[in-house]
Chains A and B, each alone.
Chain A
Amino acid sequence: MGPEILRDISFHIPKKSFQFLTGPSGAGKTTLLRLLFMALQPTRGLITVFGKDRSLITQRELPLIRRKIGVVFQDFRLLDHMTTYENVALPLRVRGREEANYRSDVVELLKWVGLGERIHVLPPVLSGGEKQRAAIARSLIEQPQILLADEPTGNVDPPLARRLLRLFIELNRAGTAVVIATHDLNLMDQVDARRMVLANGRLDVHD
């Protein structure tokens, strides 16, 4: 068993809420997001996801619950053999949707995040910022009930960071709860939102 990264943490993410998860590098932000995304199991303690005890969720139920959660990974996790369009459409494709039914939605979303000209480009050709926007678009395509974004503006310049933030705010207005893990103070200062501060394995919530 490795070192204890998080302890005595208790919080609730309400529906349609907007919050930043912040703290110094190595504080455990990514670990906390992974716990929320059910990609990690806590060594002890209780996590309830959409009203269900995480430890009681079966492997068969996991993908169905994950479909309600959008995730933006710090390292983007785009598939290099698929175009930007195919990467963004992937969550719909794995649900068995017909391409004809979602094609225009995907193209529209790509245009909205500024990738309208990069639809047929493979990820290795994209810049860091473009990859980040493609990863964000993929997490939004199914209008999840909650969005977990790990440093979503870490690779973009300040104007684009502001634009992406507006995107998250609009998504939140549409009913999605948003958790943005970041240590970018300028970004957080732009929105009056709840701040969850992680330090030394403990969490302080500032409403």
Chain B
Amino acid sequence: MSTIESTLTRLKQARQQHTRRRQAPIVPAQNIAGQALVIVIAIMTFLSCLTLGAVTLVRDSANVWQTQIAREATIQIRPDEGVDMEAALAGAAGVAERFDGVSEISIVDREATARLLEPWLGSGLDIDELPVPRLVIVTIDESAPPDFAAMREALAAEVPSASLDDHRNWVDRLVSMARTTVTIGLGILVLMLSATVLTVVFATRGAMSGNGHIIEVLHFVGAEARFIAREFRRHFLLTGIKGAAAGGLAAIVVFILFGWWSSRNMATPEAAQATALFGNFAIGASGYAGVVLIVGLISALTAATSHFTVVMHIDKIDIGGADHG
């Protein structure tokens, strides 16, 4: 056999091998409807993940507000007639010190009190000229807070001009505000996820409608329903993963960019305001886990929709309802 002939034979064999390995998939690769489906899934996943991130951020910030306020209590000494303010301050600090759950006590000194009042009364204030109440700040061990009622009673007995503010009113208001905010956020997340589910279901069905003839041909050449459903499920699972992963990744990139931006602008007043409200734009591990969950759910939803569309189409053929010639 000549060299040319043997080369041709090898090429022919290689071609046959190639054909054997690479049969066309049962469900054709992406058409325009399929590409549109990937884009729709990517956009809806992106928006859902952003909503989830925002809700996580609000929830974490609400927790921070609550814990920061609840971490401190204040003892206020009223400047009544005949009260030795310094003795009363020391007395109140002494009372507070006796209680378990108090981790630190600090008396707001004259200079600090003057600085607190400076925005209203101006600089150069002589604090002794005015009947200004003074404060003792009690830092609390959050895990085992002191008995505020007992502390209040002890203060009333030993330092009559003192009153204890455990910030309960503020904390209660903040807790209810934080709960409302998180509830609203969760409501928005539920709406967003519902919209995503409906959009993905209808977009998948739209993409499937162009494949009706394939289902019919497969069914008529003797393919079992579960074989056809499996082929479509696999195809649309891949489509779903492609779109959802793109959307989820884009959302994660946005989170990282925001985190980076906020940390870079930490020194500016605007960033300080934003940080006070939203923390530092870090969504945390639970947020990222949520993104992964949404990506998985949307991919599974796409596959499940294609599965049920195939099953319904086959049912329709078998009861003779489909128009096939």
A residues at B contact (CB < 8 Å)? 30, 34, 37-41, 59-60, 62-64, 66-67, 71, 73-75, 77-83, 85-86, 90-91, 93-96, 99-100, 103, 120, 138, 142, 150
Other A-B contacts than A59-B315, A63-B223, A94-B223, 16 sampled, CB-CB below 8 A, are A30-B325, A37-B220, A39-B324, A41-B320, A60-B224, A63-B222, A71-B220, A77-B213, A77-B220, A79-B214, A80-B28, A81-B25, A81-B28, A91-B222, A94-B224, A99-B20
A179 to B224, CA, bound (A): 25
Closest B residue to A75 by beta carbon equals: B325
Q: Which residues of B contact A95 (CB under 8 A)?
A: 222
The listed residue (A60, A91, A120) touching B19 by CB distance below 8 A is A120
Q: Which residue of B lies closest to A85 (CB)?
A: B19
Contact B222 A94, beta carbon cutoff 8 Å: yes
For the residues of A in contact with B, the DSSP-based class is loop
Contact A86 B320 (CB under 8 A): no
Partner of B222 from A66, A74, A82 at Cβ < 8 Å:
A66
Q: How large is the interface on B (under 10, 10 to 19, 20 to 34, 35 or more residues)?
A: 20 to 34
> In whole angstroms, what is the CA distance A183 to B29 when docked?
39
Q: Which residue of B24, B318, B325 is within 8 Å of A81 (Cβ)? A: B24
**Which residues of B are found within 8 Å of A78, using beta-carbon distances?**
217
User: B195-242: which residues lie under 8 A (CB-CB) from chain A?
Assistant: 213-214, 216-225, 227
Tell me which residues across on chain B come within 8 A of A81, comparing CB atoms: 24-25, 28-29
- Quick one: which of A59, A100, A120, A142 has the most chain B CB within 10 A? A59
Cβ-defined contact, B225 with A59, below 8 A: yes
Q: Assess the B318–A34 pair: CB atoms within 8 A.
A: no
- Taking Cβ atoms with an 8 Å cutoff, the residues of B that contact A are 19-20, 23-26, 28-29, 213-214, 216-225, 227, 314-315, 317-320, 324-325
8 contacts between A and B (CB under 8 A): A39-B324, A63-B224, A73-B325, A81-B28, A90-B221, A94-B218, A99-B20, A138-B221
Please indicate the chain A residues that have their CB under 8 angstroms from the CB of B325 in the complex. 30, 34, 73-75, 150
Q: A39-B220, A66-B220, A67-B222 are known contacts. Are A86 and B24 too (CB-CB below 8 A)?
A: yes
Contact B320 A40 (CB under 8 A): yes
Closest to A100 in B: B20
Q: Give the 7 A-B residue pairs with the shortest CB-CB distance, closest first.
A: A94-B223, A81-B28, A67-B222, A40-B320, A91-B221, A41-B320, A82-B24
> What residues of chain B lie closer than 8 Å to A100, measured between beta carbons?
20
Q: Flag if B217 contacts A90 (CB, 8 Å).
A: yes
With beta carbons under 8 angstroms apart, the residue of B20, B29, B218, B318 that contacts A59 is B318
- Chain B residues, CB < 8 A from A39: 220, 317, 320, 324
Residues in A whose Cβ lies below 8 Å from that of B20: 99-100, 103
Chain B residues, CB < 8 A from A34 = 320, 324-325
Which B residues are CB-close (under 8 A) to A77? 213, 216-217, 220
CA distance A93 to B324 in the complex (A): 23
> A73 contacts which chain B residues (CB < 8 A)?
220, 325
Residue on A with the closest CB to B224? A63
With A39-B220, A74-B325: A93-B23 Cβ-Cβ less than 8 Å: yes
Contacting residues, chain B, for A60 (C-beta < 8 A): 224-225
Determine the chain B residues whose CB is within 8 A of the CB of A138 once the complex forms.
Answer: 221
A103 / chain B contacts, CB cutoff of 8 Å: 20
- Distance A150 CA – B220 CA, assembled complex (angstroms): 14
Docked CA distance A75–B315 (Å): 22
Complex: how many Å from CA A142 to CA B223? 13
A59 surroundings in chain B (CB, below 8 A): 225, 314-315, 318
Cβ contacts under 8 Å, B221 to chain A: 66, 90-91, 94, 138
- What is the chain A residue whose CB lies nearest that of B222? A67
Tell me, in angstroms, the Cα distance from A90 to B228 when the chains sit together.
Answer: 12
Q: How far is the CB of A82 from chain B (nearest CB, A)?
A: 5
Closest A residue to B314 by CB, please name it.
A59
Q: Which residue of B lies closest to A30 (CB)?
A: B325
A100 to B26 alpha-carbon distance, docked (Å): 18
- Which single residue of chain B is at the shortest CB-CB distance from A141? B221
The answer for the CA separation of A25 and B23 in the assembled complex, in Å, is: 39
Q: Compute how far the CA of A60 lies from the CA of B221 in the bound complex, rounded to whole angstroms.
A: 14
